[in-house]
Amino acid sequence: MQLLISVAGPADARAALLGGADVIDAKDPRHGALGPVSPHRLAAIRAVVGRARPLSAALGDAADEKALTGGVAAAASLGVAFVKVGFAGITSEARARRLAVAAQRAATDGGTRVVVVAYADWRHAESLAPARLVGIAADAGAAGVLLDTASKGAPLFAIQPVASVAAWVAAAHAAGLFAALAGSLSGPDFAPARALGADLVGVRGAACVGGRTGRVSRPRVAALRASAGAAPPPPPPPASRVLVGRGILPERDVELPEIVRRYDEMLHAVRERA
What are the catalytic residues?
A: 27, 84
User: What is the C-alpha separation between 100 and 103, in angstroms, rounded?
Assistant: 5
User: What is the C-alpha separation between 257 and 259, in angstroms, rounded?
Assistant: 5
User: What is the C-alpha separation between 9 and 215, in angstroms, rounded?
Assistant: 9
User: What is the C-alpha separation between 126 and 141, in angstroms, rounded?
Assistant: 24
Buried b (16+ CB within 10 A) or exposed e, 121-143: bbeebebbebebbbebbbebbbb
Which of 143, 70, 142, 108 lies closest to 269 in space, CA to CA? 108
| DSSP strand pairing (144-148 vs 23-26) | unpaired
The number of distinct structural domains making up the chain is: 1
Q: What is the pLDDT along the chain (274 residues), one digit of tens a residue?
A: 999 999 999 999 999 999 999 999 999 999 999 999 999 999 999 999 999 999 999 999 999 999 999 999 999 999 999 999 999 999 999 999 999 999 999 999 888 999 999 999 999 999 999 999 999 999 999 999 999 999 988 999 999 999 999 999 999 999 999 999 999 999 999 999 999 999 999 999 999 999 999 999 999 999 999 999 755 555 555 433 334 433 332 333 333 334 334 434 444 443 344 4
pLDDT at 252: 31
- Print the domain residue range for 81: 2-273
User: What is the C-alpha separation between 127 and 99, in angstroms, rounded?
Assistant: 13
Q: Between the CA of residue 267 and those of 80, 112, 140, what are the distances in Å?
A: 11, 9, 21
- Kindly give, in sequence order, each residue whose CB lies less than 8 Å from that of residue 274, ignoring residues fewer than 6 positions away: none
Domain CATH code at residue 223: 3.20.20.380
User: What is the C-alpha separation between 239 and 135, in angstroms, rounded?
Assistant: 35
pLDDT at 182: 98
This prediction's pTM? 0.84
pLDDT at 122: 97
pLDDT at 229: 78
